[in-house]
Amino acid sequence: MEPPGGRLSTPKLEEINVHEINRDMEVLTQAIVRYAIDRVRMDPPTLDGARPEAELQAMAGQTVTEDGLGGLEALRIFTDILAPACLSVDHPRLLAFVPAAPTEAATLFDLVVGASSIFGGTWMEGSGAVYAENQALRWIADLAGFPAEAGGVFVSGGTAGNLSALTAARHEWRRVDASKRSMRGLIVSSKGAHASIAQAAHVMDADLVETGGHRLTGEDVASAISELSSEDRSRLFAVACTAGTTNLGIIDEMDGIADVCEKESLWMHVDGAYGGAGLAAPSVRRAYNGIERADSFIVDPHKWLFAPFDCCALIYRDPGAARRAHQQKGDYLEVLYDGEWNPSDYAHHLSRRARGLPLWFSLATHGTAAYTDAVERSLQVTEQAAQMIEAHPNLEMVVPAQLSICVFRRCGWTLEDYNAWSDKLLSDGVGFVTPTKHEGETVLRFCIVNPRTGIDDIRMILDTL
């Protein structure tokens, strides 16, 4: 990492201007860009993994000091010590949780977004960026069959998206009926909903009723409503359903849920943070029927639409409802109120990075057909993986494969066996697969969202079982 001509000296404190562009900074710039390009093109990347804090302290020491370490030394500590202590979630055999697989175009453009110093909260300050982001949002809205007037914003993740959508839902409920303004709201969701739905209710100081089984149906929602007291029914303002549960990949019966929401005048929100990307795949598109009737939905491009962290698309059928809920007021903000499209008006934020630009750039570069092909490829590998699991002498599927998720058991294993296997798989650099729970039983789970994950990668992992 030493530059041509020898190691750079660290200037004295009184000589430092952190914004000055000089020779030292030019060398550092080249080193950082070189590292970024090399990392993006690493195929496959090193898997790496967490390290104990004491080990990192011994290796890296105190990195924030009065006099500074110098840019190249700080970069060396990151590349040699800190980066290898982080899992590479884009590794083709990292199948735990919901991985990520950003395209090279999206990742490289993320450097441009950072370098451009764009404030992405208002049209006045970032109209070009907002225009581009809205093009990407329009593509997603069209996949869901939302009307032409639909729109929204990119937020940090599913938790922020779900919270913002449900906040807008409650605001509309109270706006339409002034008698509701002092009421504590109530939301219905499924038992399989992501934890962020319960967290949103907690943050909003609302109550949550969980109903149904692994797949929420319209009948489940209707039944839950019929069992509410008249007082609780008056507090109900939204139903949160899921387009691809995180653990099993199950898509709720959205057409039936939409029927109930229309009958009961309830806001219908769809959490598609993981599974919403399947809208791009014709082979499974019918499973999402009914999503076009929702009032809001989210999908995380940093999961299965190949964008870098962090990026969640939040889209409203009626953006005006979101704007009424989220627009911030202030004397110094008055100049912004009439902006053509202010992203800060559509979620619980003001300051905002233009985090949708890497997705836009990748879509503009490769075209949407390439995205359809990539999602379909993940679905095909998942189907092949399920067949291999069924044919394996020690394994059996727990439930049929859903979207890009396989949940299966290793016959005869205990929790300790699963944990020991998972730890060894990572320490050997083979892959990262963690156990999960299904109806109280410890099982294994593959989540395949990386188009670079091939059947040979699946075979390599299954051979260890």
Count of other CB atoms within 10 angstroms of residue 48: 17
Distance CA 225, CA 221 (A): 6
Residues in contact with 275: Cβ distance below 8 Å, sequence separation at least 6, in sequence order:
242, 243, 244, 245, 249, 251, 304, 403
Task: Kindly list the strands in the beta sheet with 296-299, ordered across the sheet, starting from the edge strand earlier in the chain.
Answer: 151-155, 312-316, 296-299, 267-271, 236-242, 186-190, 207-211
- Name 241's bridge partners: 270
Across 195-208, b (16+ Cβ under 10 Å) vs e yields: ebbbebbeebebeb
pTM exceeds cut of 0.75: yes
pLDDT at 15: 52
Is 251 within 8 Å of 216 (Cβ atoms)?
Answer: no
What pLDDT sits at residue 16? 53
Between the two ends of the chain, the Cα-to-Cα distance in Å is: 41
Phi-psi region at 412: left, alpha or beta (left = phi > 0; alpha = psi -120 to 50): left
Domain 369-462: which CATH number of 3.30.200.20, 2.50.20.10, 3.40.640.10, 3.90.1150.170: 3.90.1150.170
Both tokens of 396, joined, read 């059996």
CA distance 177 to 323: 18
pLDDT at residue 366 in the model: 98
CA 107/CA 217 separation, integer angstroms: 38
Enumerate the domain spans of the chain: 13-85, 108-366, 369-462
Given a cut of 50, the residues of the chain with pLDDT beneath it are: 1-14
Q: Which residues contact 253 (CB under 8 A, 6 or more apart)?
A: 215, 216, 217, 218, 290
- CATH architecture designation of domain 108-366: 3-Layer(aba) Sandwich (3.40)
| DSSP state, residue 208 | E
